[in-house]
Amino acid sequence: MIELIHFVRPWWLLGAIPAIVLAIIWARRRMSASHWESSIDVNLLDVLLEPGGRGGFKRIAWLVAMSLAIGAIGLSGPAWERLPQPVEQKSDALVIVLDLSLSMFARDLKPSRLVRARQKIADVLRMRREGFTGLVAYAGDAHAVAPLTDDTKTIENLLASLSPEMMPVLGSNLSSALSVARELFENARVKQGRLLLVTDSIDEPGDVVDFRNRNYPISILGVGTPAGSNIPLDFVNQPGQVLRTQAGEAILARLDEQRLSRVANSAYGRYRKLALSDEDINYLLRVPLPQDDETIEIDREFDTWADMGFLACLILLPLVLLAFRRGLLAVICLSVIVPFPAEAGLWDDLWARRDQQGRAALLEGEPQSATLLFEDPAWRAVAQYRSGEYATAAESFGQFQAPDDFYNLGNALAQNGDFAAALDAYDHTLSTNPTHEDALFNREIVERLLQEQQSAEQENDSEGDQGSNPQDSNDQQSGSDQQRAEDQQQGDQPDQPPEDTDSSSEQTESDSSQDPSQTDEGQSSRDEKQDALEQWLRRVPDDPGGLLRRKFQYETNQRLRRGDYSARETEKIW
């Protein structure tokens, strides 16, 4: 704690010097008064000196000295906690557009154009100390890999998984890429920014001219060599083979620097060929913008300390009251009137609402306590879900009708093992928001689990039919008749609780009529299914490329359904 203490105004600590001087003066006066006390009897000294003359100055001196010391510490601004403070930061928006056509597999640059392009983009991301960066990948169509963000580490982690083989549509549709990049600027409400196109060729220069704007200059980083290289087919398990035309001629992918330079100049940008040093990206990223001083407000946690000097006032208050005779009585009365809280919640309620207390408990990893504190039903449902009360959480989420509430309801039902109802909940969410990626991902998992569960039940039924005999069938039939009779008798009772309020008791009654070995096997089977469910729903994918591939395929399918574009027969696939 001492290491964390920081003083915002440390020079105010010099104010403690008068307190030290006052203590010294009192000590010297005390020493001078000791000569009389050593020469005169104590009883006679009380008669000669005025009442309170000896102890009054002592108390006042110590009181003033302590007050000055505490006041000096309070004015110095003691702090031990940092707070985020809104600051102004340059927007400096940059969208990197990466060409992922098949020609990027060419190996005229070692080890390949694709690897060198990804390495150069990684260098750009590491140089970005300030501003926002986005990434767009394109081939036959374009997809946003990352929106404009200042978290360049996340973009760098996704960069290594980008490859032409993951693109749903082959080709080189630059117009679609520039359209997606413009959407990133518009969604981030950025009025100006730079585009860095990393490519080896541009088939249609008019695609760039259509998007040229002084507020969004387009610079081009050329990848490859003028001599060019063939395109290997290793990505389709054909080592040693190269991509050929329909006539059987090997395709030679060349870097046309003159065309790329003309296109960059027409789009108010610059052109450079990929180099080993940082000279190329330093030159391209210094394209001037109409307003170089554009800033936006962000939240960051800097050296801004929370000044806790006001606490000195609370300490000084009783000391000031002690300067008066009646003040001491007032302090005693306050300590008697204000009792110690009978329960901790009463004291907490004085400073925070129940929802605030519940949120604090949720952040501290105590969802069960948060469940009891939350008054807001939506927050209470979240706390119930995190505490493992999936059935209760499903009932709570079922009270709301928003798309996200149906998504949460589906998660709770899936965790509770009700896969069919979970699929219905996910379908409600997707009917309102078809692009809800989390709902799509979870629905696919739950649908797979439901199919596995149904297939497992069918296998168990088939095995049971093959291994059963007439006597077992009669026993099972009589047992089921007896069970139905017991259930009917229980249903005739007027005070029988509803099924959903005491499922554990019904399960116990049902299990009591079964064989103990069957009960253990059933419990073991349920535990295995629950463990498998938790592993599916709580697993963290370690393959970002797989997620991006599915994302790209989904976006392409959506565009095809809307008829946003159609593949051209004359368009080349590299």
**Residue 469 covered by a domain:** no
Residue at a domain's end among 429, 450, 471: 450
Q: 131 and 259 share a domain?
A: yes
Q: 104 and 69 share a domain?
A: no
Q: 18 and 113 share a domain?
A: no
Quick one: pLDDT band at residue 405, thresholds 50, 70, 90?
confident
Residue at a domain's end among 450, 479, 497: 450
Distance separating alpha carbons of residues 213 and 195, to the nearest angstrom: 11
What pLDDT is attached to residue 468? Answer: 45
Q: 357 and 233 share a domain?
A: no
The pLDDT tens digits for 243-275 are 888 888 899 999 999 999 999 999 999 999 999
**Domain residues for 354?**
345-450
104-118, 302-316, 393-407, 487-501: which is most confident: 104-118
What pLDDT is attached to residue 317? Answer: 74
Q: 58 and 134 share a domain?
A: no
The pLDDT tens digits for 347-368 are 566 667 777 888 888 777 788 8
Distance separating alpha carbons of residues 509 and 490, to the nearest angstrom: 11
**Residue 239 covered by a domain:** yes
**Residue 499 covered by a domain:** no
Least confident of 57-66, 118-127, 183-192: 57-66
Q: 227 and 274 share a domain?
A: yes
Task: Flag whether pLDDT at 43 surpasses 50.
Answer: yes
The pLDDT tens digits for 487-528 are 433 333 333 333 333 333 333 333 433 444 444 555 555 566
Distance separating alpha carbons of residues 194 and 187, to the nearest angstrom: 15
Q: 198 and 131 share a domain?
A: yes
Task: Flag whether pLDDT at 474 surpasses 60.
Answer: no
Q: 318 and 381 share a domain?
A: no
The pLDDT tens digits for 366-389 are 888 888 888 888 888 888 888 888
Q: What is the DSSP code (8-state) at residue 236?
A: G
Region 7-34 average pLDDT: 72
Helices (H), 338-436: 344-349, 354-363, 367-373, 377-386, 390-397, 403-415, 419-432
DSSP H or E stretch at residue 122: helix 113-127
**Residue 422 covered by a domain:** yes
Task: Flag whether pLDDT at 306 surpasses 80.
Answer: no
pTM listed for this prediction:
0.49
Quick one: pLDDT band at residue 38, thresholds 50, 70, 90?
low
**Residue 540 covered by a domain:** no
**Residue 162 covered by a domain:** yes
Residue at a domain's end among 450, 481, 511: 450
Distance separating alpha carbons of residues 246 and 105, to the nearest angstrom: 19
Q: 283 and 425 share a domain?
A: no
Region 541-570 average pLDDT: 73
The pLDDT tens digits for 529-546 are 666 666 655 554 455 667
Q: 228 and 142 share a domain?
A: yes
Pairing mode, strands 295-300 and 85-90: antiparallel
**Neighbour order of strands in the sheet with 142-149:** 142-149, 133-138, 94-99, 194-199, 218-222, 271-273
Average pLDDT value over all residues in the chain: 75
**Residue 209 covered by a domain:** yes
- Closest Cα partner for 69 from 132, 119, 123, 19? 19
Query: What CATH number does residue 213 fall under?
Result: 3.40.50.410
What pLDDT is attached to residue 124? Answer: 94
pLDDT exceeding 90 applies to what percent of the chain?
23
Query: What CATH number does residue 437 fall under?
Result: 1.25.40.10
Q: 289 and 397 share a domain?
A: no
Domain count, the chain: 3
Q: 27 and 57 share a domain?
A: yes
**Residue 325 covered by a domain:** yes
